[in-house]
Amino acid sequence: MGQRHKRKKHQMVLLTSDAVDTGVEQIHYHPWILWIVILILCVFLGAFLGYFYFEKDVLLERDQSAAAQQEEIDRLEQEKTDLESEIASLKETVQILSETVTQKTQNENQLTEQLEKQTTPTEFPLTGSATMEMATEGDPMCIFSAADGAMVVATAGGTVTAVNDDSEYGHNIWVDHGNGYVTIYRNSGEVKVKQGEAVTQGTTLFLITGENSKLGYQMLKDGVYIDPMEMLNISG
């Protein structure tokens, strides 16, 4: 028996045209070529679908990231606005406090000046008019001769630290003004204050009568006798 030849399988595609003068074209191809084409198309389709879904996830992730970033930006902008408002409020508070401190400092300075003025012995130690001479011996002392009915008064505010008998004038009163100044008043009249009593400028210490018209007035600064005339504010 002769060998039988295995026939090769071919696929054929007929191409026709509506044109009258064209015939039928035949294209022969092997089946495996079709499978290769199908396989390539499937690979491309799979790649396209994979790329599409991958890009979809990437875009979705980008959108979510952008939304989160925008939310963070909005939050930071709000924090910035809140901080600016708080800073403005703090500046206003600081301005108010600064003005308050300035006003308080001015008031304290005024009170200090007033207190210093009230406790610095610059006023005249007598009411009414009087003649004056300086003592020629001993520590500096002004000797006043006052009219009947005049009063010996404190030349500044302070505290009476001593009321003593005086061999020459009868009595002496010491007033400590609390700022290094101490004034001494020597007279034989009736004492109107007592030791430890607080006095103000103009407080009556003695009452001048015809028999005790002389007043001896002295002043110390930080324990040292000074000339009272250097401090007295005498007008007229």
> What residues does 27 pair with on adjacent strands?
13
Task: Determine the pLDDT at residue 26.
Answer: 60
pLDDT tens digits along 137-196: 899 999 999 888 889 999 999 999 999 999 999 999 999 999 999 999 999 988 999 999
Identify the segments of the chain with pLDDT beneath 70: 1-30, 234-236
Task: Determine the pLDDT at residue 1.
Answer: 47
Phi, psi of 136 (to 5 degrees): -95, -15
Task: Determine the pLDDT at residue 34.
Answer: 73
Locate the domains of the chain by residue range. Answer: 8-119, 130-230
Close Cβ partners of 196 (under 8 Å, ≥ 6 residues apart): 159, 160, 161
Q: What kind of fold does domain 130-230 have according to CATH?
A: Glucose Permease (Domain IIA) (2.70.70)
Close Cβ partners of 154 (under 8 Å, ≥ 6 residues apart): 125, 175, 183, 199, 200, 201, 202, 203, 205
| DSSP character string of the chain | -PPPPPPPP-EEEEE--S-TT---EEEEE-HHHHHHHHHHHHHHHHHHHHHHHHHHHHHHHHHHHHHHHHHHHHHHHHHHHHHHHHHHHHHHHHHHHHHHHHHHHHHHHHHHHHHHHHHS--S-SBSS-EEEEE-SSSS--EEEEEPTT-EEE-SS-EEEEEEEEETTTEEEEEEE-SSSEEEEEEESS-B---TT-EE-TT-EEEE--TT--EEEEEEEETTEEE-GGGT-----
